[in-house]
């Protein structure tokens, strides 16, 4: 098999699946730990297989407990490349979603399978998404302006993993005792030279630059060269930009991804994101006539209102930055709240799906998306449509007939223009 990946949240996993597909690679994304037979069948039929996880939100010990068995499953498929799909903003910390621990576990997983101990290529850039790495420093766009990562308005104040350092080698060096180096793009004279530089680096992992798709393709080809000479998979860490680069180095002939799907009717949005971008999207939906209200935690009253609105053909957004508990009291923050929001959101979606009120659902927030998808009982996901840019509509596969075939858009908090919800509602079914 060409490649396998573990995604540290669901939105990132979906993006990886999309980036591979753009270069003709067939794929399947599993939700949580798949059955061995299902995984083997997918590997035989597809170019790439992924497991969507939640490591991004976990403490180091929990992260290792989640990641190690998943990587062992993927290594057993004998992929040429094994990717840990990380967020394109590299947001992580020693205590939450530690990419340093990821590097340690990934190197160990390859070694346990008898693989070659190589420096781990690290590429977080995703130029078509406004993410760039230059001389080891990372930059991210927001509302048309490119900021150094530690000055980007959203990421510098992220509630779980605020980014206070743009030098990625320094940032990741706080998360592991392993040596982290960087290799700047002027050295990318050819994939062969880059592969040689990576293979001979004394560091345990190497941050790679990318400003455009040409850089991504050179990196992908260099990793392919390393894989050709390696015993076992080459372990890599990076964004959907890395997924695109890996597949661009070995493009396949395949049918283009559809731009619209068969789902129709009103749209239900459930949000666990507190980002300003998601709030702007909710406000734009309200201006377009959607019902927008706080997600009710522990009360069925909100669900009844949602079902009535959807039944009348009106699309609905349920927000969490102003979520309220059963007593009408505003709620704060923390892991317990995340679980509560996900449970409430999944409850609304299940009721709406089982009553036939909607077949198209948008879930906002990477951590929320992963939890809601699990709570819905979906065991795997495939691409239904890619209407534009990095927006991808997924088809859920589940034992529950109400959930099977449900169309999901799993959206990171920062992703999308202000009119995203209305544009999705307007897609032809």
Quick: pLDDT tens for 296-348: 876 666 788 899 999 999 999 999 876 554 444 445 555 678 888 999 999 99
Q: CA 337, CA 340: separation in Å to the nearest integer?
A: 5
pLDDT of residue 329: 47
DSSP 126: B
pLDDT of residue 326: 45
pLDDT of residue 327: 45
Extended strands (E) in 124-266: 131-134, 137-142, 145-148, 180-183, 205-208, 234-238
pLDDT of residue 145: 95
Q: What do you get for the CA distance between the two ends of the chain, in Å?
A: 34
Contact status, residue 310 vs residue 278, Cβ threshold 8 Å: no
pLDDT over 50 (residue 357) = yes
pLDDT over 80 (residue 52) = yes
Question: How big is the CA angle at 131 (ends 129 and 134), to the nearest 5 degrees?
Answer: 150
Mean pLDDT along residues 362-389: 90
pLDDT tens for 23-35 read 999 999 999 889 8
Query: Structure tokens of 276?
Result: 């300003």
Q: Cα–Cα distances in Å, from 71 out to 17, 130, 230, 288, 339?
A: 17, 29, 18, 45, 25
Q: CA 22, CA 16: separation in Å to the nearest integer?
A: 10
Contact status, residue 235 vs residue 110, Cβ threshold 8 Å: yes
User: Mean of the per-residue pLDDT values for the chain?
Assistant: 91
Q: CA 380, CA 395: separation in Å to the nearest integer?
A: 9
Fold of 3-248: Rossmann fold (3.40.50)
pLDDT of residue 429: 54
Burial of 134 (0-12, 13-18, 19+ CB in 10 A): middle
427 versus 205: the higher-pLDDT residue is: 205
Q: CA 44, CA 47: separation in Å to the nearest integer?
A: 8
pLDDT tens for 271-283 read 998 889 999 999 9
pLDDT band at 55; cut points 50, 70, 90 = very high
Question: What are the backbone angles phi and psi of residue 330, rounded to the nearest 5°?
Answer: -65, 150
How many other CB atoms sit within 10 Å of the CB of residue 185? 19
pLDDT tens for 84-138 read 999 999 999 999 999 999 999 999 999 998 888 899 999 999 999 999 999 999 9
Mean pLDDT along residues 247-259: 86
pLDDT of residue 158: 80
**Which residues are paired to 123 by β-bridges?**
238
pLDDT of residue 333: 53
Q: Does the domain made of 267-425 have the CATH classification 3.30.465.10?
A: no
User: What contacts 368, CB < 8 A, 6 or more positions away?
Assistant: 270, 271, 272, 273, 320, 338, 341, 342, 345
Q: CA 389, CA 423: separation in Å to the nearest integer?
A: 13
pLDDT of residue 428: 59
Tell if the pTM clears 0.75, that is, is over it.
yes
Contact status, residue 123 vs residue 239, Cβ threshold 8 Å: yes
pLDDT tens for 173-192 read 999 999 999 999 998 999 99
pLDDT tens for 61-81 read 999 999 999 999 999 999 999
pLDDT of residue 337: 80
Mean pLDDT along residues 222-242: 96
Contact status, residue 285 vs residue 422, Cβ threshold 8 Å: yes
pLDDT of residue 115: 85
Contact status, residue 244 vs residue 23, Cβ threshold 8 Å: yes
Q: Where are the domains of the chain?
A: 3-248, 267-425
Query: Structure tokens of 427?
Result: 């897609």
């Amino acid at each position: 098999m060409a490649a396998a990946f573990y995604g540290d949240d669901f939105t990132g996993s979906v993006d990886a699946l999309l980036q591979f597909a753009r270069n003709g690679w067939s794929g399947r994304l599993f939700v949580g730990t798949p059955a061995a037979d299902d995984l083997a069948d997918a590997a035989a039929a597809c170019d790439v297989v992924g497991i969507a996880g939640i490591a991004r939100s976990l403490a180091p010990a929990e992260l290792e407990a989640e990641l190690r068995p998943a990587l062992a499953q993927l290594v057993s498929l004998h992929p040429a490349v094994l990717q840990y799909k990380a967020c394109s903003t590299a947001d992580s910390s020693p205590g939450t979603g530690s990419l340093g621990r990821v590097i340690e576990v990934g190197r160990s997983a390859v070694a346990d399978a008898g693989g070659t101990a190589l420096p781990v290529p690290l590429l977080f850039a995703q130029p078509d998404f406004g993410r760039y790495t230059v001389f080891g420093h990372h930059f991210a766009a927001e509302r048309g302006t490119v900021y150094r990562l530690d000055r980007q308005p959203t990421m510098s104040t992220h509630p779980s993993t605020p980014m206070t350092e743009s030098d990625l080698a320094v940032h990741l060096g706080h998360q592991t005792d392993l040596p982290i180096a960087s290799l700047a793009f002027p050295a990318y004279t050819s994939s062969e030279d880059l592969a040689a530089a990576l293979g001979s680096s004394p560091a345990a992992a190497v941050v790679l630059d990318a400003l455009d798709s040409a850089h991504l393709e050179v990196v992908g080809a260099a990793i392919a060269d390393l894989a050709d000479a390696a015993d076992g998979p080459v372990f890599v860490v990076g964004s959907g930009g890395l997924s695109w680069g890996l597949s661009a180095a070995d493009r396949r002939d395949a049918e283009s991804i559809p731009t619209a799907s068969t789902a129709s009717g009103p749209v239900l949005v459930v949000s666990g994101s507190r980002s300003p971008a998601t709030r702007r999207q909710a406000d734009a939906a309200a201006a377009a006539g959607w019902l927008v209200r706080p997600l009710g935690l522990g009360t069925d009253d909100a669900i009844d209102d949602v079902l009535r609105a959807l039944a009348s053909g009106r699309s609905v957004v349920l927000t969490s930055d102003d979520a309220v508990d059963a007593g009408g009291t505003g709620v704060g923050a923390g892991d317990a709240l995340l679980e509560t929001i996900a449970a409430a959101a999944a409850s609304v979606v299940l009721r709406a799906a089982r009553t036939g009120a909607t077949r198209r659902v948008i879930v906002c927030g990477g951590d929320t998306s992963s939890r809601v998808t699990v709570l819905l009982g979906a065991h795997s996901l495939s691409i239904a449509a890619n209407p534009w840019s990095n927006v991808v509509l997924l088809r859920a596969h589940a034992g529950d007939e109400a959930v099977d075939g449900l169309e999901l858009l799993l959206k990171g908090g920062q992703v999308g223009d202000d009119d995203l919800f209305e544009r999705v509602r307007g897609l032809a079914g």
